[in-house]
Structure 1
């Protein structure tokens, strides 16, 4: 019996020894996560169909999984309002996704509640990410000493223009307000719309919000909200008077009140308008239009009577990509989250965004085929243009929803001739006071 037990014991020791040898000789995956097995990251986005609606994010995820095959991504999506509501509910139940897109205000609230991962250590460990993202975009998502998120994408807005129309009528592509007004007069005389706009969608005031930053918006907004200053101030009134002057000189479509934003885009892409107030999300549409070879993008006019630096580019962080604080409880998952963020903000990630003609958050060092993608090449050129300071944010994103809505409505009220400039500004002040 004793001999039989010894034989069994020796056999067990031999099996364990062989297993250990096999483990030591197994090939190592350099791209593997630090965990002992496959890791699954849950990522939730603000669109129902990520593959179709956010192809660059979908592409980045596919490339990431190729590079890190033992990190699986569980990707889900929902329409923005539904997504935000869902994230808020999941935050209350303590069951947030590992990584998710979120609007700035609720993300800040989640951070203050201790629900989001502090990315400060991530940035310190990945200095190339810090160097690649505009510092203003990084600071937008800092609160209470924490880096609660990083910009998912850049909100880039301004005035698209069709150089062919400017050349046809021998008008200079405007860099100043005086040049814009002069162009409007020439185009009006030749039955050409200067700036395509549709006021049925009052959110489409991007270029004029950019102009507002050149009249000291960010110098004044804190005092306006505290009651020390008003929207109806001499500087803002100068801008609103200029909007009215553009209206009087026929810069906008005669039927602007009945047009939608999408009809305004079509007006521009078929060559019936010299300029379009929009953002770089229209890049692909313009790229595929008859005006692709002559389309350009500008940050809008500067003003001789403006306040402060006039070279302010409206290229700001739109919304953050954040992570649940709970991922830090699992070292392997925490490692996987850091790998994903590092890949997303790398030149590899930027290349995927470039392939989909989306503006990379990081400064893209790759090349763009100007012959194949002339419009996208123009966008990248503007984003890398020296001498332009990026705005802190889009003005309507730093005020209450009620004030933002009235700001947009007031701009269109002047464009349509419904409000006098002073009245339009007074209406915004009434919303601030509530």
Structure 2
């Protein structure tokens, strides 16, 4: 399974306070060209050095081909730097990183969920990348500021975005054309389409509730009801998640359920089965993200597929043009690399390459959205699905939130949020009851 699925599984928190473990409990160290190094630093930077990089998938080559490709190209460019690339499934990886943090044996560079990364940062275990951004202005200016801001805490830049989390609704235009239904841009159009499709035994939105994390498009819709305007007050106890604006959103989900927008067996379907339903041409839409691009590109429906940010709402709150393009999870580096000039130089070079146009080209070749603004060209005839995503990402006047809603919540609250959405989709919860479920985990 690809990275964004892994990310959405849960925003795992550190079970024990990291501030008391390991010996790097002082203020986070900075990745700086001015950092003190031995007098033979120039010679050190040319010595053979090994970088240990740990990722959140078991088979990096197959599951994260762009990361694997970037590593290969990087080693070609810097033959004196050997990269030991290893990976585990997300849960195992996160647990291993927690244990490594406690033992003060973190790898040089690794992928991490935002919440535990912040805890490691507070414990002084992560390299502060603020100076790196200052010294590499070309990278800083080519990256969306919100992607950078998402990994700042306590005055430190504790990480940089590994990739953009891009989520929404895939749609099969051939099905819409067949039943003379407009591809929806508004909620009213989506509801009308659902009623037509139901009458013709067509699933409107393929979803699988067995994997409760698969609510991406609906999280995007939630942002159109003022989620980020309210969440600070909700966390502070000044407002409840069960509020009149969010209630309208949950009522819309219930209305779609009543209209038959979801598979009749949604409660027993997995996310993977929902994807298969869509790629087989048995559903008009799919709630997913760009990690499915290559799979859809290889399917029989590829030439008919488009991508949207989901519907806007006439009773929504604030700007309705919200594009869910956010930082998924960061790449971080161990603060201990600052004690070895050659290692620090290698880490610096890797980040420089990863966020360069060369690195972005490798991501584009693998149909993944580059974190930096990519100046290269994509063959629309060869990659129609990928091109459709990039077209949406480049739409003018669409605002990008600072994060996906579940990624700014605790693990328990994030799980409750996903469960509440699927609870309404499955008809288990009434909208208000579903919202109370989230409140119980927030307060």
Same fold (TM over 0.5): yes
Equivalenced residue count is 402
Alignment of 1:13-412 (within 5 A): 35-412=45-422
Q: How many angstroms does 1:94 deviate by? A: 2.1
Residues 81-131 of structure 1 show CA distances to partners (whole Å, capped at 9, x for unaligned) of 222222222222222211111111111111111111111111111111111
Q: Please name the residue that 2:423 is paired with.
A: 413
Length-normalised TM-score, structure 1: 0.90
Any conservation in 2 of the 1:33–1:336 contact (CA below 8 Å)? no
Q: Secondary structure at the match of 2:171?
A: strand
Residues 225-264 of structure 1 show CA distances to partners (whole Å, capped at 9, x for unaligned) of 2221111111001111111111111111122122111111
Distance (Å, rounded) in 2 between the aligned partners of 1:375 and 1:186:
26
Q: How many angstroms does 1:397 deviate by? A: 1.4
Q: Please name the residue that 1:12 is paired with.
A: none
Distance (Å, rounded) in 2 between the aligned partners of 1:402 and 1:116:
25
Q: Which runs of 4+ in 1 moved over 4 A?
A: none
Q: 1:33 to 1:363 in 2, by over 3 A?
A: farther
Residues 385-412 of structure 1 show CA distances to partners (whole Å, capped at 9, x for unaligned) of 2211111111111112221112111111
Distance (Å, rounded) in 1 between the aligned partners of 2:409 and 2:144:
23
Residues 198-250 of structure 1 show CA distances to partners (whole Å, capped at 9, x for unaligned) of 11211111111110000011111121122211111110011111111111111
Distance (Å, rounded) in 2 between the aligned partners of 1:33 and 1:259:
58
Any conservation in 1 of the 2:204–2:261 contact (CA below 8 Å)? yes
Any conservation in 2 of the 1:313–1:388 contact (CA below 8 Å)? yes
Q: How many angstroms does 1:36 deviate by? A: 4.2
Q: Secondary structure at the match of 1:157?
A: strand
Distance (Å, rounded) in 2 between the aligned partners of 1:162 and 1:193:
11
Q: Secondary structure at the match of 2:329?
A: strand
Q: Secondary structure at the match of 2:75?
A: helix
Q: 1:92 to 1:431 in 2, by over 3 A?
A: closer
Distance (Å, rounded) in 2 between the aligned partners of 1:123 and 1:72:
24
**Match 2:439 to one of 426, 429, 432:** 429
Length-normalised TM-score, structure 2: 0.88
Residues 62-93 of structure 1 show CA distances to partners (whole Å, capped at 9, x for unaligned) of 00011111111122222222222222222222
List alignment gaps of at least 5 residues for structure 2. 1-41
List alignment gaps of at least 5 residues for structure 1. 1-31
Q: Secondary structure at the match of 1:263?
A: helix
Q: Secondary structure at the match of 1:74?
A: strand
Q: 1:33 to 1:410 in 2, by over 3 A?
A: farther
RMSD: 1.4
Q: How many angstroms does 1:33 deviate by? A: 8.3
Any conservation in 2 of the 1:363–1:384 contact (CA below 8 Å)? no
Structure with the greater alpha carbon radius of gyration = 1
